[in-house]
A and B are shown apart, each in its own frame.
Chain A
C-alpha cells in the first residue's frame, strides 16, 4: 500500500481536480518581470545592517543611554551653577580647603583631597579621555587602513611592510607604550602619539589579509571580467566587508585608550595632574582607597568609566556583527 504512494496521489489528485473551473485551462499572459519579482526581495546592505543592529534590545538601550551620557558630558559645563573642575574650594567659615567632603547637596559627588569638586572633575575628565580616545581611534583607523591597503595591494611593498609589522608586533604593546611615554614626557599630545603607535597594527594586518583574500577571490575575478571598475569592486565587495571591522576597531579603541591612560597614569607617565582625566581621577582615588569612607572618590569615576567602556565594547561588537554580510537574511 505504502509503496504505491506516487500513483495513489496521481489518481486521487486527478479526481479532486475534476471540479475545477474548465476556463482556467487557458494560457495566461506571460510577464517576464514577474519571473524576476518572485525571487529574493531587493537587498540593501546598509538597511540590512541597521535592521539587524536595531533588532537587539540591549544594543538600542546601550546606544540611547550612551548617547545621553555623551550629550550630558558635553553640555554639562554650559549648565548654570556648575562648579569648576580645577578650582580648589575653600570653606568660607574656616577659610580652609573643603578636603574630602563626602557627597552631599553642595558637592554632589564630594570633593577630593585638595578640595576640588569631584562631580565637575568627572565630566571634565570624561571629556578629556573621550577626546584622547576619539583622536587615537581616528589616527589608528587612518594609519591602519592606509598601511593595510598598501600592504595588501602593492605587492612590491609586501616584504618591507611585513618586516616593519614583525618588529612592532614582536615587542609587547605595554613596553612600546611605556617606552614612548617615557621618552616623550607626559602631556596631552605625547599621550595621543604614544597610544597611536601600536593600535593600528591589528587593523592594518586585518585589512591586508582581507584585501589579499578578496583580491584573489573568484567573484572579484568574475566582476573584473564583467568589466566592473575597481572602484565599484571596492565599494560593493570590499567596503561592506571592512566596515564591520573598522567600526569594531574604532569603537574598541576608545575603551582601549582609556585603559592605557589609567595604566600610564598609574606608572607615572600619564597626563599632568592639572588636567582632569579618567586616568588621573582613578589614580587619585586609588591613593586614598584604603580609607573606606573616601572610596567614593574611586567608585564614582570608575562607574562612569566602566559604563562608557562596556557600552562602547558591546555596541562595537554588535555593529560589527550586524554589518557582517553573512549575518544578513
Chain B
C-alpha cells in the first residue's frame, strides 16, 4: 500500500510536470496583445518589443520554462496585466478560493447524498417505474446542455421561488440557487454510476453464493452489493469533488460568484494572459490531484490493489 502510494505520487508528479509544461508551451501561442492591456495601441512596435523582452517572452522557450519553474518554486505566479494591472496573480486569486471551495463542497455533499440514494433506488427497481423516472432525469441532465438548463433554473428559479437572481455574500438565501445548480449534474452522474456499479455487482457470482447462503435479498444488497459498489465510486469521488470546484466556471460567472471559475471567464474575456495561465495551471493541478486521490482511496478500500495497476487506461 505504501509502496503503491509512493509510486502513484511519483507518477502524479511526473504527469503534473508534463501537463504544466504542456500548458505553458500552449500559452506561448497566445496573442501577445494579452500582455499589454489598453496600452497596446499606444505603444510603438519597438516599445512593445522592449516590454516583451523585459517579460522574457522573447527568450527561447527552454529559458522561459526554466525561469517559470524557478519563479513557481518561490510561489510567484506572475502579475496580472489587464484584469488588475500589476497586482500579483496570487493576490488576485487568494480571496476567491474560499468561495469556490465552499460551493464545491456543498454541491458535492448534496449530489453525493441525493445521487447515491437515487442510484441505489434505481438499481433496486431496475427496469421498473422508479428506474425509468430517474433515468428520465439523468437523460435530461446529460442531454440538454448545462449552459442551457442552468439558464432556465436561474430565470424561473428566481421568478417562481422569489430567490435572488445574483449571488450576494451577505444574503445566505442567494446561495441556494447556485448550490443547487451545481449539484444537478453531480446527482445525475453519481446516480448513473452507482446504478451501473450496483447492477454490475448484482450480476456477479458472489451474489449468487450470498443468496444461496440464505441471506435475505435486502441483506445481500446492503452487506455485499452496496458495499462493493461504493468501492469503484470511491475512485471517482475526489475527481468529482474537484470537478465541481473547477466545473462551476459557468455557474460562478452566471451568478456573479466571486470564485475562481468566474474569474477565469473574466480574464479570458479580457485577454489577461498571466491570469489565464495561472488559473489554467491551478485547475489542471486540481484535476491531477483528484485522479490521484481517487486511486489512493480506491486502494484503501480494495484489498486486491497492492502495488501495481494495469497501466494508464482506467
Contacts and interface: CB of A to CB of B under 8 A. Distances in A.
A54 interface: no
Contacts of A209: 313
B134 interface: no
A241 interface: no
B19 A171 contact: yes
Please tell me the size bucket of the interface on B: 35 or more
A259 B250 contact: no
A106 interface: no
A268 interface: yes
B147 A266 contact: yes
B108 to A, nearest CB: 16
Contact of B313 (A205, A295, A306, A314): A205
A183 interface: yes
Interface string B133-166: 0000001101111111001100100000000000
A166 B284 CA distance: 12
Given A172-B243, A182-B276, A302-B152, A267 B253 contact: yes
Contacts of B55: none
Nearest to A260: B145
Interface in A272-318: 282, 286, 289, 295, 298, 302, 305-306, 309-310, 312-314, 317
A309 B26 contact: no
Nearest to B285: A170
Given A165-B313, A170-B19, A286-B151, A310 B145 contact: no
B49 to A, nearest CB: 21
Interface in A74-122: none
Interface stretch (B69-77, B175-183, B208-216, B262-270): B262-270
B19 A175 contact: no
B312 interface: yes
B311 interface: yes
B147 A263 contact: yes
B148 A314 contact: no
Contact of A171 (B27, B139, B144, B284): B284
B151 A175 contact: no
B26 A172 contact: no
A170 B284 contact: yes
Interface in A145-196: 151, 158-159, 162-163, 165-167, 169-172, 174-175, 178-180, 182-183, 185
A174 B249 contact: yes
Given A172-B247, A179-B26, A289-B151, A167 B19 contact: yes
A163 B286 CA distance: 18
A317 B268 CA distance: 36
Contacts, number: 128
B148 A289 contact: no
Given A172-B246, A172-B287, A167 B15 contact: yes
B145 A267 contact: no
B309 to A, nearest CB: 12
A262 interface: yes
B100 to A, nearest CB: 13
A251 B99 CA distance: 37
Contacts of A309: 143-145
Given A171-B287, A182-B30, A267-B268, A310 B143 contact: yes
- Most-contacted residue by chain A among B148, B250, B280 (CB, 10 A): B148
B4 interface: no
B313 A262 contact: no
A298 B145 contact: no
A214 to B, nearest CB: 14
B57 interface: no
A298 B145 CA distance: 14
Given A183-B26, A262-B148, A162 B268 contact: no
- Most-contacted residue by chain A among B247, B253, B268, B313 (CB, 10 A): B313
25 contacts: A170-B15, A170-B16, A170-B19, A171-B23, A172-B246, A172-B286, A172-B287, A175-B283, A175-B287, A180-B26, A182-B30, A182-B268, A183-B29, A183-B30, A255-B143, A259-B147, A262-B148, A282-B147, A289-B155, A295-B155, A302-B152, A306-B148, A309-B143, A310-B139, A313-B142
Which 7 A-B residue pairings sit nearest by Cβ, starting from the closest? Answer: A259-B145, A162-B312, A313-B143, A262-B147, A310-B143, A263-B147, A309-B143
Interface of B: 15-16, 18-19, 22-23, 26-27, 29-31, 139-140, 142-148, 151-152, 155, 243, 246-247, 249-250, 253, 264-265, 268-269, 276, 280, 283-284, 286-288, 291, 311-314
